[in-house]
Structure 1
Amino acid sequence: MDFLQQSFSVRFDYKVFFTTHLFSPENPAFGKFIEGEKKKDTPPKVFFVLDEGVVAHHPDLINGIRSYFKGFPSLQLVEEMIIPGGEQAKNDEALFHKIVAAVNTRKIDRHSYLVAIGGGSVLDLAGYAAAVSHRGIRHIRIPTTVLSQNDSGVGVKNGINYFKKKNFLGTFAPPVAVFNDFHFLTTLEEVDWRSGISEAIKVALIKDAPFFQWLVQNATLLAKRDMPAMQYLIKRCADLHMQHIRSGDPFEMGSARPLDFGHWSAHKLEQLAGFNIRHGEAVAIGIALDSVYSHLSGRLSREALDQILELHQVLGLGITHPLLEVSDDKSPLLLGLEEFREHLGGRLTITLLNDIGKGEEVHEMDSALIRKASEWLKDLSSR
């Protein structure tokens, strides 16, 4: 049989900047970045999609952006679109069509920029719209929450929820840049400040024991909203995520997903709760469940488990939820495990802990042991 075969690789480069007051006239980083990226003589168009919650807490943001662009006549600000934030942004298909329609009417082309400012859900939605419009518009992310600055905003994934399933539609499309502006964190609600730390706990547990110990030592400062401590956490967490993207399987062609430690049950919890629970809250509970399972299955020491759960307590993070209780083989949590298996292509791959900083991939989980772990956490939380 005759056939032709072709192989090629594509290089992706993007920078993650750490700054404050990004659109201050004294901070030229954003404008200079786009000027340095120009590929043609005409001014590149810049289209902003903004999280309405961010705009509400920063009422001068839009005027600040407009004033900022007056200092960069080589750039063309074309529109600011405000959309609802939170998981509803990914649940409402009409918002996706609204962004794509604006791309069309404003003639946003492949040399233009779609800039998203907001939490992870708005970034996911806007990134998906950018990735599929014209087969890819240049996309810049400006995350405004702890979770999006240390995790989702610096990665290569985006998408929306569909069929009531988390991220059922999406693409792998790296941004051209990420700008983490720490000033946005100052107006976060307490739940968003704390729950975003769960992704740092996750990556520390599977990749960096010294970082986990730093989290333990600085947990009280973090709970008190100490900004220098949070800035270090975000930079270190973002660095670990980017190292994984560079050295691993960034587009998840295989079934291994170590950065999803604690996520299989978290995604199911979000769905069961009608997405009325923060992703970070769900991940914290998922981490607790998989950590207890790791201990009960003989992998993780009791001392290490106690450290993990004590860190949750100091940070005010939950460890269980009634929707994840297991009563029989048809309990939603166990169905969520099968859905996760399906999402991975049929072969289950879950990361468990052998020790703090040391993850292990397994391909099966014992339903009875999951139930025991769930009951263990329920009992602990009721004391």
Structure 2
Amino acid sequence: METIQQRFAVTFSYPVIFTQQLFDPQNPKLRDFLSQYGERDFRKKIFFCIDSGVLAAHPTLQSQITHYFESVPTLSLVPEWLVIPGGEAAKNAPALFDQIVEAVDQYGIDRHSFVAAIGGGAVLDLVGYAAAVSHRGVKHIRIPTTVLSQNDSGVGVKNGINYRGKKNFLGTFAPPVAVFNDTAFLRTLDDRDWRSGISEAIKVALIKDKVFFEWLEANAKALAQRDEAAMQYLIHRCAELHMQHISGGDPFESGSARPLDFGHWAAHKLEYLTHFEVRHGEAVAIGIALDTYYSQLTGRLSETDTQRVIQVLHELGFKLYHPALAEQDSVHLINGLREFQEHLGGRLTITLLDAIGVGVEVHEMDTVLIQKAVVVLQGETV
């Protein structure tokens, strides 16, 4: 019998829409999207999952949404809401995943209907994963509410939850149908969450865009002082660079490289070592500093460029060391390399810096130099 070879391509397309006061009845962005999306000859439903921290900061949000959907005649708003505790702990709680799936079943959310998530990156990851596996994929709308989720995780194609003590062990590549970045949500963030997301902008600038890094240098003080116009530009440019990377290379990570995870191999491990006391963006800042010093120690990056990176991180208020890095002479941290490789398989592939704006992939790391970089970081404590 002859072999039958199957081959087909699937095109993914979704907008990232920048706006303010998304649920103001005078704002047509969401209403227009929902009215124009998909088939229009039958009534669809939309079910909202909301980060509890967002709801606490915006106590009238549910009534705003209810009022908003009175002007969306093509859609039925599910009158019940699922409120989910925010933060990384949401991705460690199987019961929350079960609740979302149960709600999809209970309220009849079919593959033409929508599950909308409002919250930080962890809540978006959890809800996106549940939506992707329910009915083999119901439509998912992301409404990120943090800097980190608006400029990075919320605009990408990945969803996931933590399992067996490993970050994002269960997950999917399932793009949302739309992302709505509402600047108004950022105004209620505390300083840690405002700052935390900036690390992802530094990351992508360092590996892809020297000009953007120079802008970050020039605007570090304004960003630290919560200048909204500066943050809006940062989020837009960072999201743009992330989306360009996703569309231009290996969107579903079928290879062994994750260049957009510069600084992340150590960051992921540090989050676990601190029981998520260190937030993701804060851990990424430490990981960036570690791999920047490592790049210098291997002769790739000049001392001048290294200090420019460290200076920006300091000006933004990041702490660049945590005692967990040195526990058991960094044995736990080194294990993070193996886990990082295991997540993709294939060869170990880590992104380092040859220069500001120039990332390079390497396939081995010197554990002695990693420990030296940790010692240098310890001296950078502020």
Counterpart CA distance in 2 for 1:269 and 1:239 is 28
Counterpart CA distance in 1 for 2:40 and 2:73 is 15
Quote the residue 1:312 is aligned against.
313
For 1:159, what is the secondary structure of its paired residue?
strand
Counterpart CA distance in 1 for 2:196 and 2:72 is 37
Paired AA for residue 4 in structure 1 = I
Quote the residue 1:272 is aligned against.
273
Question: What are the equivalent positions in structure 2 for 1:62-141 lying under 5 Å apart?
Answer: 62-78=62-78, 79-141=80-142
- 2:357 equivalent to 1:370: no
Q: In the TM superposition, what is the alpha-carbon distance from 1:367 to its structure 2 partner?
A: 0.5
Question: What are the equivalent positions in structure 2 for 1:286-325 lying under 5 Å apart?
Answer: 286-325=287-326
Quote the residue 2:21 is aligned against.
21
Quote the residue 1:212 is aligned against.
213
Counterpart CA distance in 2 for 1:326 and 1:251 is 34
Counterpart CA distance in 1 for 2:208 and 2:264 is 16
Paired AA for residue 241 in structure 2 = L
Counterpart CA distance in 2 for 1:197 and 1:33 is 29
Say if 1:299 and 1:326 are closer, same or farther in 2 by CA, change over 3 A.
farther
Counterpart CA distance in 2 for 1:83 and 1:132 is 18
Counterpart CA distance in 2 for 1:10 and 1:254 is 19
Counterpart CA distance in 2 for 1:326 and 1:366 is 18
Question: What are the equivalent positions in structure 2 for 1:252-271 lying under 5 Å apart?
Answer: 252-271=253-272
CA RMSD, Structure 1 to Structure 2 (Å)? 1.1
Counterpart CA distance in 1 for 2:2 and 2:33 is 48
For 2:318, what is the secondary structure of its paired residue?
coil
Counterpart CA distance in 1 for 2:288 and 2:2 is 51
Deviations, residues 126-169 of structure 1 (Å, cap 9, x unaligned): 00000000000110000000000000000000100001110010
8 Å CA contact 2:321–2:380 kept in 1: the answer is no
Bigger mean CA offset, 330-339 vs 61-70: 330-339
Deviations, residues 234-282 of structure 1 (Å, cap 9, x unaligned): 0000000000001010000001110000000000001111122210000
Question: What are the equivalent positions in structure 2 for 1:136-285 lying under 5 Å apart?
Answer: 136-285=137-286
Q: In the TM superposition, what is the alpha-carbon distance from 1:34 to its structure 2 partner?
A: 0.7
Q: In the TM superposition, what is the alpha-carbon distance from 1:380 to its structure 2 partner?
A: 2.8
Paired AA for residue 361 in structure 2 = E
Q: In the TM superposition, what is the alpha-carbon distance from 1:2 to its structure 2 partner?
A: 4.1
For 1:25, what is the secondary structure of its paired residue?
coil
Counterpart CA distance in 2 for 1:239 and 1:346 is 29
Quote the residue 2:8 is aligned against.
8
- 2:341 equivalent to 1:341: yes
Deviations, residues 330-352 of structure 1 (Å, cap 9, x unaligned): 71011111111222214100000
Paired AA for residue 128 in structure 2 = G
Question: What are the equivalent positions in structure 2 for 1:34-53 lying under 5 Å apart?
Answer: 34-53=34-53
For 1:331, what is the secondary structure of its paired residue?
helix
Paired AA for residue 177 in structure 2 = V
Counterpart CA distance in 2 for 1:292 and 1:325 is 16
Counterpart CA distance in 2 for 1:182 and 1:121 is 19
Counterpart CA distance in 2 for 1:7 and 1:73 is 40
Identical amino acids, percent of aligned pairs: 63
How many residues align? The count is 381
Counterpart CA distance in 1 for 2:208 and 2:276 is 29
Deviations, residues 166-217 of structure 1 (Å, cap 9, x unaligned): 0010000000000000000000010000011000000000000000000000
For 2:380, what is the secondary structure of its paired residue?
helix
8 Å CA contact 1:326–1:374 kept in 2: the answer is no
Quote the residue 2:355 is aligned against.
355
Counterpart CA distance in 1 for 2:327 and 2:130 is 38
Deviations, residues 289-335 of structure 1 (Å, cap 9, x unaligned): 0000000000000000000000011100121111111654x710111
Counterpart CA distance in 1 for 2:195 and 2:170 is 28
Which 5+ residue runs of structure 1 have no aligned equivalent?
A: none
Quote the residue 1:379 is aligned against.
379
Counterpart CA distance in 1 for 2:155 and 2:213 is 20
Counterpart CA distance in 2 for 1:207 and 1:183 is 29
Which 5+ residue runs of structure 2 have no aligned equivalent?
A: none
Counterpart CA distance in 2 for 1:320 and 1:380 is 7
Paired AA for residue 54 in structure 2 = V
The runs of at least 4 aligned residues of structure 1 exceeding 3 Å deviation read: none
For 2:379, what is the secondary structure of its paired residue?
helix
Paired AA for residue 276 in structure 2 = F
